[in-house]
Amino acid sequence: MKIIISGDFTTEGRGKCAVSNGAAISGEIVSLLNTSDYNVVNLEAPVANDSHKTIQKSGPHLRTDAQTIKYLKDCGFHAVTLANNHFCDYGKEGVAETIETLDSCGMDFVGGGRNKKELRKPLFIENPDGVVAILNYCEHEFSVQDEYGSNPLDSIRVFYDIREVRSKADIVIVIVHGGSEEYQLPTPRMQNFYRYIIDIGADLVVNHHQHCYSGYEPYRNQWIYYGIGNFFFDDGVQTARYWNEGYMLGVHIEEKKIVDCHPYPYIQCLGSEVQVRLMQEEERQQFQKKWGELNTIIADEKQLEDSFRKLCKLKSKNYYSLFSPYYNRYLRYLCKRGLLPSFISRAKRLSLLNYIECEAHRDITIEVLRGVDNK
């Protein structure tokens, strides 16, 4: 049995036109998907139209249409993950329309739902080589709502979910949407938590969200992949090459256990190429070199912590500026009397909420407030 897991798919920028033309996913990748028994991709945007209202949040609102779902199905995908930070961008209506579209196209889904029970429901894949359970979670951003939306990453919930599916499945795969955007390493907190997921019974952890690929590590005879990158996501800016590189993860299963995981590196939406295609030989060699460097850092606790501190120092000014209130007691008095504007506007309130609730943002916030610049 072979399962292929892919990262974020959107129709932003030039993506919608590429999907309409049937050119977003190259023929060689479609052929690869057709060699697999089951293929999963992260749908990084809800199906929504102009009549759907956006939710209040910090960051952009993404959406796609029903044609995208049909296209992914035609290319060989069997399921989408819905636990991500954009699934609720168009509210409960967008969530409902997405799931109705998936159902009408015969696509499976996991990690999102119209109610608490549906969003938490695991996905089971049955095959003579074994029964596979897929669980999907995302960090706490605006797609995590009270009664619907994306399945939140929570240590207690993960524990009980894995315990429940473990009794029904031979293999448990956990797919997480999290991490610091445009940072090619896990934070120390991520590494500890993902190892915990293996400790409590998962066979494989796969992460996406960062808009770049990361490395992996073997852990207790299982695997943790800390970032597989964008699968098809046109940023329209081309700010850095890492945005345009990633890999699909091939998971090979025999006799009810994972025997191998294999990366299929690709280039996506680079320059005039509005497509995802497999890397050529020279590109693969460069990928393997960088991947090896990342794996070396992940395997060394000190290097991983040092890299995280460098990230925090780089971002410290932005984080300080967001948290800067009126410190002087006289200025605070004037602010309370309405003689000075409040530093917490609606936009700032939403940004603060995201920095505190989202695990990846909180990692950096805590390190910055501890005085990372002084270390």
Q: Any residues with CB less than 8 A from the CB of 75 and at least 6 apart, and which?
A: 25, 29, 30, 33
pLDDT digits 0-9 by tens, 191-221: 999 999 999 999 999 999 999 999 999 999 9
pLDDT digits 0-9 by tens, 10-57: 999 999 999 999 999 999 999 999 999 999 999 999 999 989 999 999
Q: Does residue 90 have a pLDDT over 90?
A: yes
Report, as an integer, the average pLDDT of 61-68. 97
Q: Torsions phi, psi of 12, nearest 5?
A: -65, 165
* Residue 355: predicted pLDDT: 87
Report, as an integer, the average pLDDT of 344-362. 86
Helix, strand, coil fractions of the chain, as percent rounded to 5: 40, 25, 35
**Model's pTM, two decimal places?**
0.93
What is the chain's mean pLDDT, rounded?
Answer: 93
Q: State how far the Cα of 366 lies from the Cα of 293, in Å rounded to an integer.
A: 27
- Inter-CA distances, 320 with 136, 155, 227, 316, 325, Å: 33, 29, 28, 6, 10
